[in-house]
Chains A and B, each alone.
Chain A
């Protein structure tokens, strides 16, 4: 398995601006980690079901009953910028 991270592609997906130095360091460190992870290829996993939950149960739900909504002040209390009871973001171009 090829395990050299395309750091620009991944950082772009993750929406993190990395400095050149970070790119260099992370690439090297993550190559180490991926090299280590390669040992999983030794394991024969044919016919093995994946585990998503340690103790899976099914059909965990709630009844459709409306609860209390946050007052708008609470909803926006942590927002870094707000106007007209909405959160301001730089203009989104569609």
Chain B
């Protein structure tokens, strides 16, 4: 029998803020244990939470970006469960009135090859709500150690509808979501740092069946490949089990990346009666149209929208857009360069996507501290365009630009790299080339058009590369034509 997998994702994204969700203690990663706490983070007797305005701004922005309805009023609830990483033994979260409802994320499925765009479609969201992160447990042989540094970090939970059907689709969703979040400055989404975490609800059903099968919640998908591999393993495990005639149980399983398997979890046992109730320490949030409009004005163009614009406005090929678009700073760099020289967007894109990124990566630098300014890239393209330098010389000029940060015009001037257009000199070299290479002349006269290239090479060589190839071509052809 053929089976269809049904996948829904629950994604936790840490919102980038300076202070925690409900107190001023600083947020950070990789600090010494228990150095990012205060009375509220530690849940000392008597403390009270106060919400972080920026975190609320950022979740509303996320909602607007992903087409969610923003609830006019939302409230805070306590989710009660005991766990050593949960200092209050309740987590402040949103239960029945989340701030963002609905919404959808455009995703791109893998194309037939890397150079060809794949199909696009939308994955529907159920909701997005705001809560606080918990601390971290470090497990040892005989005990566990608790670090509360992470506790209280603003955390967004994004829940999708159960509408995905393959690990690739889940992967594509996560990639698109991540890009959107990074684009809007909401989170850096670094999975290594736990800024983005993913749980998956996975079930299978016979193809054609509309009812959902028994759901397994899969946790610990800690990397983007982990999401793909973990989901893939779990789907196959379920299919194998059913095929063997075993019945599946609703459970929580854990992806073990080292062994490449999923195993049942026993933690938080009996914890499914969370006794949600409105947190009496916090007041509701009311979002009016003005607030939404203010945030809407700050929204970036989504990556796929930008890609479509690059196709239309600049006629860029897919491969170039897929280099430039995912990085908002890189695409901003590109657009600044194009603005300085709007005639040749493709050439500009090529310089950035190939030469500049290669040099930056060798130098271990990012686009934001590139030694070459966007206007300088534009200047370089302009010099080639206007015939001042050849493409080959331009490569040389580019390396100097990268090393010195100087304008391309200055480098060309200083190094005397300007193309020679002195026809007197060129004519002398052309005459010499014709005189010294009778075989090539013979071939050209015999109808072999390409034979001129060897002669051209000789002239270029004589000019030390500075001759303008188009002019050399013209002179040679005139002189050869006269020999007919």
Within 8 Å by CB, do A and B touch in the complex? yes
Closest Cβ of chain A: how far from B295's Cβ, in Å? 14
Tell me how many residues of B have a C-beta within 8 Å of chain A: 55
Q: Which of B77-99 contact A (CB under 8 A)?
A: 82-84
Is B265 at the interface (CB under 8 A from chain A)? yes
* Interface size, chain A (Cβ < 8 Å): 36
Whether the pair B18, A64 counts as a contact (CB closer than 8 A) is yes
For A52-77 the 0/1 string (1 means CB < 8 A from B) is: 11001111111111111111100110
Q: Are A94 and B266 in contact (CB under 8 A)?
A: yes
Chain B residues whose C-beta falls within 8 Å of the C-beta of A30 in the assembled complex: none
In the complex, what's the smallest C-beta–C-beta distance from B244 to chain A, in angstroms?
27
Among the stretches A19-27, A38-46, A85-93, the one at the interface with B is: A85-93
Of B23-31, B106-114, B455-463, the one touching chain A = B23-31
Distance of A66 Cα from B270 Cα, bound (Å): 37
Nearest neighbor of A73 in chain B, beta-carbon distance: B34
| Residues on B with beta carbons closer than 8 Å to the beta carbon of A2 | none
Number of A-B residue pairs having CB atoms within 8 Å of each other in the complex? 133
Q: CB within 8 A of B284: which of A56, A87, A90?
A: A56
Contact A63 B27 (CB under 8 A): no
Residues in chain A within 8 A of chain B (CB atoms)? 12-13, 15, 52-53, 56-72, 75-76, 83-94
Cβ-closest 8 pairs across A and B: A67-B24, A64-B54, A86-B145, A66-B26, A61-B53, A66-B18, A58-B286, A87-B146
- Tell me if A12 and B270 are in contact (CB < 8 A): yes
Is B164 an interface residue, CB under 8 A from the partner?
no
Known: A92-B137, A92-B139, A93-B267. A62 touches B35 (CB 8 A): no
Asked if B34 contacts A85 (CB within 8 A), the reply is: yes
Task: Give which listed residue, B35, B36, B52, B283, contacts A56 with CB less than 8 A.
Answer: B283
Question: How long is the Cα–Cα vector from A94 to B18 in the complex, in angstroms?
Answer: 31
B26 touching A69, Cβ below 8 Å: yes
Residues of B within 8 A of A60 (CB): 50-51, 282-283
Known contacts A52-B280, A75-B34, A66 near B24 by CB under 8 Å: yes
Chain B residues with CB under 8 Å of A76's CB are 34
Would A67 and B25 count as touching, CB distance under 8 A? yes
Question: B273 in the interface, Cβ–Cβ < 8 Å?
Answer: yes
* 17 further interface pairs, Cβ-Cβ under 8 Å (given A56-B284, A63-B54): A52-B75, A58-B73, A60-B282, A64-B19, A64-B53, A64-B54, A64-B55, A66-B18, A66-B25, A67-B24, A69-B26, A72-B34, A84-B33, A89-B84, A94-B265, A94-B266, A94-B267
Pick from B19, B37, B52, B286: contact of A75, CB under 8 Å: B37
Contact A92 B37 (CB under 8 A): no
Task: Please determine whether B286 and A59 come into contact, CB atoms closer than 8 angstroms.
Answer: yes
Give the distance to chain B from A81, nearest Cβ to Cβ, in Å.
8
Residues of A within 8 A of B142 (CB): 91
A62 contacts B270, C-beta separation under 8 Å: no
Q: CA of A92 to CA of B146 in the docked complex: distance in angstroms? A: 10
Task: Please name the residue on chain B nearest to A12 by beta carbon.
Answer: B270
Chain B residues in 8 Å Cβ range of A57:
283
**Interface residue? B448 (CB, 8 A):** no
Given contact pairs A52-B278, A58-B285, A91-B140, A86 touches B34 in the complex (Cβ within 8 A): yes
Contacts of A70 in B (CB 8 A): 25, 35, 37-39, 42
User: Which chain A residues border B82 with CB–CB below 8 Å?
Assistant: 15
